[in-house]
Chain A
Amino acid sequence: MSAAPAYSEDKGGSAGPGEPEYGHDPASGGIFSSDYKRHDDLKEMLDTNKDSLKLEAMKRIVAMIARGKNASDLFPAVVKNVACKNIEVKKLVYVYLVRYAEEQQDLALLSISTFQRGLKDPNQLIRASALRVLSSIRVPIIVPIMMLAIKEAASDMSPYVRKTAAHAIPKLYSLDSDQKDQLIEVIEKLLADKTTLVAGSVVMAFEEVCPERIDLIHKNYRKLCNLLIDVEEWGQVVIISMLTRYARTQFLSPTQNESLLEENAEKAFYGSEEDEAKGAGSEDAAAAALPARKPYVMDPDHRLLLRNTKPLLQSRSAAVVMAVAQLYFHLAPKAEVGVIAKALVRLLRSHSEVQYVVLQNVATMSIKRRGMFEPYLKSFYIRSTDPTQIKILKVTCRVTEGLLCHIPQTYIRSMDKDFVAATIQAIGRCATNIGRVRDTCLNGLVQLLSNRDELVVAESVVVIKKLLQMQPAQHGEIIKHLAKLTDNIQVPMARASILWLIGEYCEHVPRIAPDVLRKMAKSFTAEEDIVKLQVINLAAKLYLTNSKQTKLLTQYVLSLAKYDQNYDIRDRARFTRQLIVPSEQGGALSRHAKKLFLAPKPAPVLESSFKDRDHFQLGSLSHLLNAKATGYQELPDWPEEAPDPSVRNVEVPEWTKCSNREKRKEKEKPFYSDSEGESGPTESADSDPESESESDSKSSSESGSGESSSESDNEDQDEDEEKVRGSESEQSEEDGEKRKTKKKKVPEGKGEASSSDEGSESSSSSSESEMTSESEEEQLEPASWRRKTPPSSKSAPAAKEISLLDLEDFTPPSVQPVSPPAIVSTSLAADLEGLTLTDSTLVPSLLSPVSGVGRQELLHRVAGEGLAVDYTFSRQPFSGDPHMVSVHIHFSNSSDTPIKGLHLGTSKLPAGISIQEFPEIESLAPGESATAVMGINFCDSTQAANFQLCTQTRQFYVSIQPPVGELMAPVFMSENEFKKEQGKLMGMNEITEKLMLPDTCRSDHIVVQKVTTTANLGRVPCGTSDEYRFAGRTLTSGSLVLLTLDARPAGAAQLTVNSEKMVIGTMLVKDVIQALTQ
C-alpha cells in the first residue's frame, strides 16, 4: 500500500468531472469519508466466503473501472480472490489485476503463484488465460517467469495456448526489449506452427518484435500462403501486409516487363556471350521463356502469393479486401491489378468510415493507374446524405480519373459549401493535368462566374487565375470578363486574383487595365490587405508598361499605401517606389524593374494532395495521414536482381529427385519394390520426410489445393518449369490410375462409373457435392465391419473392392494379410502394398495386446470432404523402428468419388519426434475403407505429432496426440526384479497418490483390465492378493515405468508410479486414477 498515495493522485485526474473522487488512501487521511466507507463494504463482501457476494462486489468494482473511476485502493482485497473457485469471480479479478497491477507491483506479486499453477492446469482454457493475465500485468520483476512461461506455452499441445503464447511475445517485448533474442527464437519456433489459429498471432508478434528479420519467413513463406485462406480475418490482414513487404524484397518487379523485353531481344540478337557471362539462373529462365512471348518470368512463389490472396477479395471483412487490394497494387503485374477495382468499389457501400479510408486509397491508386475505376464511375456519384469528407473524396477520385470536367449543377447548388469549393478546385486540377479537357473545364468555370453565390464565383476566379497562367494569350476575353467582376465581387482572395491577372497580362487588355486601377485607387483604403498588395502590384506593372496613362495613378496609390496601417503594405509601397520611379541616384535596380516585375512566371502546378502519398504502403495509417506513423515499415523497392529464390525451397532439388523417383516407381515397379523391400528405414535417410512433404504441399498447391487456390490460372502453368514437372508427375500418377481402373473393371463392374468420375475429379469439391444419405449408409457398413476386425489386422490392402467387404466378415483375422484382392489383382502397386504389409505382420506379436484407447477421430468426414480418418494405437511393436509407437490409421471414403493418392505430407514436427509414414494408398473407392500403419516416435512426450494428410487434390492438417499410456511397452520381470528396480527409483522418481476405488472396480479382473487399457504395461506376478504390479519401458528412451496399486479393504487404494521420467509418471498417475475412479 506504500505506493498508493502517488497513484491516487493521478487517478483523481482521470475521474470524470463532477464525480466524487474515490480512493483516497486510508493511511493518508484519517477521516472516513462516505466514499471510503462504500469501499469498505466492498472489502467486506470480498472477504466473505460467499461467492455470490464476492461476485456482486467484483461486478461493482468492474463497473467502476469501466466508468474510469479509481478502484486501486481495493487491490489487497481483490488480489486475495485470485484463486477463487468461481470462474466468473476469477475472470473479473483478472480484469482488475490487468488494470491495476502495474501500479501496485509488490502486491501483484502475490498473485503470480496462482498463475504459475494455472499454467500447469489440464484445462487448456485455464492454461491460456493464466498465461494471458501473467503476461498482461506488466510487472518488470516477473520478466524471467514470463519468458519461461512463454517458452513452455509455445510448445504446448493446445494450439489455443500456443496462440496465447504468440500474443504474449509482444507484451514481454514492450516490457523488456532486452529479451529480444530469446523472443525471436520463440517466434521462429511458432512460425513453423502449422495451425491456422497460431499463424496470424505469431506474424503479428513478428511484426512487432523483429520485422527486419525477413529471413525467418523464407522457410514458412509457402506454408503461410497456403494457410492464408483458413486463417481468421484479423490474422489475414497482418499476414498479407507482411507478405507484401516480403515479396518486395524477394521478387523482381513484374512491371519491368517492357524494358526487360528490349534488353533480352537485344541480347538474343547480338549473341550469347553476354548471356553466358551473366549466367544467372533467372537469366536462363528468362531466355528460355523468350519464345513464349514473355521474357519476364514470375517467380512461382510470387505467383503463389497472388493466386492465394485473390479469393480473399471476396471476404466480408473490409480490412482483408483492402489488404489484398494493396498487395495486388504493389505486387501484381499491371494487367492483373484491375481485379481489385470491383472489390474496392464494393466497399464503398459499407459504413462511411470504411468509405473514407477506401476512397483515400482509391484516389492514390487512380493517380498512378488512371482508368482503373472508370467502369465504376457511377459508384462515385454523390448523394446529398454523404458526409462532406466523403463527397470531397468522391469528387477527387472522379477528377483524377479524368471523368469529371464539367460541374454538375446539382453539386454547385449544394448547401455544403466546403464541398462546392473542393469541387471547383478539383476541376482546376483536372484541367491542368489533362490537356484535352482544359477548354471544357475553363468554359465550365467561366459559366460559374455568373453564379449568384459569391463563394462559388470567388473560388472559380482563383482557379481560373491559375489556369490562365498556363496559356494567357488565348484568353483575353476571359480576363476582360473578370475585370468586369471587380465591381461586384467582394471576396478578397478573388479580387486579389483578378488584379494580379490583369497586372500580369496588362498587355492583352491595354484599355481596361488602367481603368481597373483607377477604380481600385478610389476604393483603396477600404480594401483588405491582400487586395491592397495586389493593387500596388498592378500599379507598378502598369507604370512600367504604360507609364503615360498611369503615372499619376500609381503615385497616388503609392502615397496612399505609404500611410497604411499595415507595415507590410507600407514596406511594399516604399520598395516599389524605389524600384520603379527613377530617383536621383539612378539606382541600378530600377533599370531592371521591368524584368523584375514582368518576368514570365512558371504556371503553378495543381496537384492532388494524393500525389505524394504513393510512397507509403497503401491501406496503412501512414498513407491515410500522409505522415510516417510510429512503427511504420517502409515498403522496400523492388530489388534489381532477385535474391536467391532457393531460400524458400531448399528442398526443391530433392523434391525433383523425389518426383523422378516416384515416376520410376510407377514405371519400373520391380526395381522399386526391391528397394522398398530392403531399405525401409534408409529410405527416410536420403529423402527426409520434410522434403518429401514439402514437395507434396507444392504439388498440391499447384494442382489447386484446397478451396484456396483458384485453378483458373492455367496459363501460368506453361510459364514456370516447376509446374511442368508437377504435371508430369501427375500425368504418371494418372497412368497408374488408369491401369488400376482397368483392373477394377473386372471384378467390380462399377469401373465405368469410377472412371467417369475421374474426369471431374480434379475439382475436389465434387466429392462432397453429392453426399447423399445413400453414401452415409455405406459409411455405416464399413464401420460395423471395423468393429469386428481385430486390431491385429494390419492395414488391409488399399485397393479393396466393396464386394469384398462382406467376405471380410467371414474371413478369420489371421488370413488377413494374404487378402484375396492382393492375389487376384496382378497390379504391382497392390503387390507393393502386400510387401510392406507382410513386412509388418511378420513381426511376431509377443503379447496379445489389449487395444488401448478406442478409435479416435483424426479427420471428420465433413472436414475431410468425404474422407473420414480414425486412428487407434495398436500396441504392437512397430516393425521399422522399435522406438516408434505404431498407429493404425483407418480411412473410409464416404464421398462418391474415389479418393486417390492418400499419403503423408509435410510434417514439421517438434524436435525429436519423427514419423515413419505408411505406404501411399493409391485409391480409395467410394464407400470403401482401408487401414494403414504408421509409426511415430513421440520421443517420450505427449506432444502432438502434426502432419499433413494429402490426397491428390486436397491436404488436411491433422494431429495425433498420444495418451501417455501409449508411450510405453510392457516388459516382463519377476517380483524380485521389480522390487529391486523400484528400490532404485525412489524419492524424486516416485509419485504416490491415494484414491478410492468405486464399488464397480474392486475385482482383480476389472482393475487389471482398467490399468492395462490406460497404459501399455505388462503385469508382474505378485504374491499378495491386494497388490497389483505392472511394468513397462518407455519406447524412446527405454526408461522403466513401474506401477504399483495397493488396494486396501473398503475401496481405499494407493497408487505408486516409479519412473525416471517424472513427467510421464505424473501424467500416468493422473490417467490411471481417472480410469479407475470414473
Chain B
Amino acid sequence: MIHSLFLINSSGDIFLEKHWKSVVSRSVCDYFFEAQERATEAENVPPVIPTPHHYLLSVYRHKIFFVAVIQTEVPPLFVIEFLHRVVDTFQDYFGVCSEPVIKDNVVVVYEVLEEMLDNGFPLATESNILKELIKPPTILRTVVNTITGSTNVGDQLPTGQLSVVPWRRTGVKYTNNEAYFDVIEEIDAIIDKSGSTITAEIQGVIDACVKLTGMPDLTLSFMNPRLLDDVSFHPCVRFKRWESERILSFIPPDGNFRLLSYHVSAQNLVAIPVYVKHNISFRDSSSFGRFEITVGPKQTMGKTIEGVTVTSQMPKGVLNMSLTPSQGTHTFDPVTKMLSWDVGKINPQKLPSLKGTMSLQAGASKPDENPTINLQFKIQQLAISGLKVNRLDMYGEKYKPFKGIKYMTKAGKFQVRT
C-alpha cells in the first residue's frame, strides 16, 4: 500500500518525509517536480504520476503537496482519500495545516502519521481515537507536561478502537451538555451572459459540534426530508432508519464532525439570491476597455447578503485597471491578472458597483473571451433550499442538553459568464 509520504511546499522543497516500509529515496520526487513544471499551475499537476518503479499520488491542499509513493496496485481513490484524511487530521490537531505549523509540530505530526498507517495500511484514522493515542498540543498541556513529566502519548488502547461505536470514546464528561448543528448550504451555479441560469444546484452539509456526557443517542428529524435527493452520512448514522423513516438516528462522535452532506434535487428550482449586472467591453485596436459591474440582491427571503466578494481572472492582454468602487475595496494584480473586489454587505437601497477602465496591451487584438466572474457571499439564518430541522431528541441519557441549530447559505462555485 502506501510506501512513503513526502510533503512538498510550493517552492519545491521536501520538508517532511515519512516511510512506512523500506526507505524510498527522495529522488523519486524528481518525477513529481518534472510534472509540476509541465503543469503551469499547481492545480494542474496530475494526481497520479507513474514512474519506472513507483507511482506518485498527490493531493494539493493549503499550498502543500502531499505526495504518496506506492509500488503496487491499489485503488487510487483509496490513497487520495487517505491523504485528504491526513490533511483533515492535521487541521483538526493544529487548527490550520500549513508548512510552518507542520514544521513546528514535526514530532507530533510524525507520531500521528505513525499511528495512522501500519505497513502502509490505515490503522487508526478516526480523530477521536488518534487524539486519545496522541494528545494534540496545547499550551496548557505543554506546561503541565514539563512540570509533571507526563507525556502526550496515551498508554492505553483507546476505548473506541474496540467498541461497536469506534468513533466515540467512553467516559465522556461535560458540565455543560450541548449539541450544535450548523446547516450550511452552498449554491453552485453558472449564470450565462444574459443573466439566465444555466445550472444551479444546492449542496448542503450539516456540521455538528456535540459535547454530551455519556453515550447519548440522538435523533434528528426534518420538516421536509423529501428535499434531500442524495445524501452521504458519517458512519455513525443508522442507514436503515433513514431509509425507512427519513430520520437521522445516531450516537454522535465527541466534538466536531460532519454528520451529513446532501444534495438538493435539481428538479427543485433553485432560488438565486444575487444578480450581477456587467458591462465589460474590449474594442479592437484600442488600448482601453470599459469595465462595469453591479451586484444586487434577487431572492433573499428578506435576509441581508453579507461577505460578498467578487473575483475575476482577467485576460492576459489587460495591463492594468483603474476602477472606483461605490463601496468596499478592490485590488488588481497585474502579474496574475486577478481582480478581486471585497464588497461586504449589500444594501438594497444603494447597490454596490465597480466602474472604470482597463488599459490593454497596445497592438494586441482584443481577447476572445470575456472574463468569468466568481462570486462569494453569505446569508445568515437561511437555508436556501428551505430545509428545516424539525426536532432533535436525545435518548439514553438523563440530563437535558442544550440544543442549537443554525442555518447559513453560502456561494459555492458561483460563476457568472460575461
Q: Which residues of A contact B (CB under 8 A)?
A: 13-14, 16, 51-52, 55, 59, 62-63, 65-68, 86-88, 91-92, 94-95, 99, 102, 123-126, 128, 132, 135-136, 138, 158-160, 163-164, 167-168, 170-171, 174, 197, 201, 204, 229-230, 232-234, 237, 241, 311, 314-319, 321-323, 342-343, 345-346, 349, 351-354, 356-358, 378-379, 381, 383-385, 387-389, 410, 413-415, 452-453, 619-622, 624-625, 627, 629-633, 704, 706-708, 710-712, 763-765, 768-769, 771-773, 776, 860-863
Contact = CB atoms under 8 A, between A and B. Distances in A.
B81 A67 contact: no
A763 B244 contact: yes
Contacts of B58: 353
A709 to B, nearest CB: 8
Nearest to A384: B372
B interface majority secondary structure? mixed
Given A234-B122, A414-B369, A68 B14 contact: yes
Interface string B15-51: 1111101110111000000000000010110111010
Interface of B: 1, 13-19, 21-23, 25-27, 41, 43-44, 46-48, 50, 55, 58-61, 70-78, 80-82, 84, 106-107, 109-111, 114, 118-119, 121-123, 125-126, 146, 149, 151-153, 155-157, 161-166, 188, 190, 198-199, 201, 203, 215, 217, 219, 229-235, 238-241, 243-245, 247, 249, 251, 258, 261, 263, 266, 313, 315-316, 365, 367-369, 372, 374, 395-396, 398, 413, 415, 417
A625 B51 CA distance: 11
B368 A16 contact: no
A631 B54 CA distance: 12
Contacts of B365: 452
20 contacts: A52-B146, A95-B110, A125-B155, A138-B22, A174-B21, A204-B1, A311-B243, A315-B232, A353-B58, A357-B47, A383-B413, A385-B413, A452-B368, A629-B73, A631-B71, A707-B239, A712-B243, A763-B240, A771-B396, A863-B165
B50 A625 contact: yes
B368 to A, nearest CB: 5
Contacts of A316: 232-235, 258, 261
A735 B164 CA distance: 34
Contacts of B157: 123-125, 128, 158, 160
Contact of A66 (B77, B109, B199, B234): B109
A349 to B, nearest CB: 6
B73 A67 contact: no
B396 A381 contact: no
A323 B114 contact: no
A352 B153 contact: no
Contact of B149 (A52, A138, A706): A52
A872 B17 CA distance: 51
Contacts, number: 288
Contact of A862 (B61, B70, B74, B251): B251
Contacts of A358: 77
Contact of B241 (A234, A704, A769): A769
B23 A622 contact: no
B161 A197 contact: yes
A862 B215 contact: yes
B118 A167 contact: yes
B330 to A, nearest CB: 20
A229 B233 CA distance: 13
B119 A136 contact: yes
Given A88-B151, A317-B81, A710-B240, A14 B26 contact: yes
Given A167-B119, A171-B119, A346-B232, A16 B14 contact: yes
B416 to A, nearest CB: 10
B369 A354 contact: no
A346 B201 CA distance: 12
A630 B374 contact: no
Given A138-B22, A316-B261, A415-B367, 15 more contacts: A63-B107, A66-B18, A68-B14, A99-B19, A123-B157, A315-B235, A319-B80, A384-B313, A384-B372, A384-B374, A387-B44, A621-B70, A707-B241, A769-B219, A861-B396
B156 to A, nearest CB: 6
Given A102-B22, A171-B119, A233 B219 contact: no
Given A13-B25, A322-B77, A621-B74, A415 B240 contact: no
Given A68-B17, A381-B198, A629-B72, A318 B249 contact: no
A388 B241 CA distance: 42
Contacts of B266: 378
Contacts of A413: 368-369
B107 A92 contact: yes
A193 to B, nearest CB: 13
Nearest to B186: A349
Given A204-B121, A316-B234, A237 B78 contact: yes
Contacts of A87: 151, 153, 155
B415 A385 contact: yes
B44 A389 contact: yes
B348 to A, nearest CB: 28
A122 to B, nearest CB: 12
Contacts of B163: 863
A342 B23 CA distance: 41
A763 to B, nearest CB: 6
Contacts of A453: 368
A234 B73 contact: no
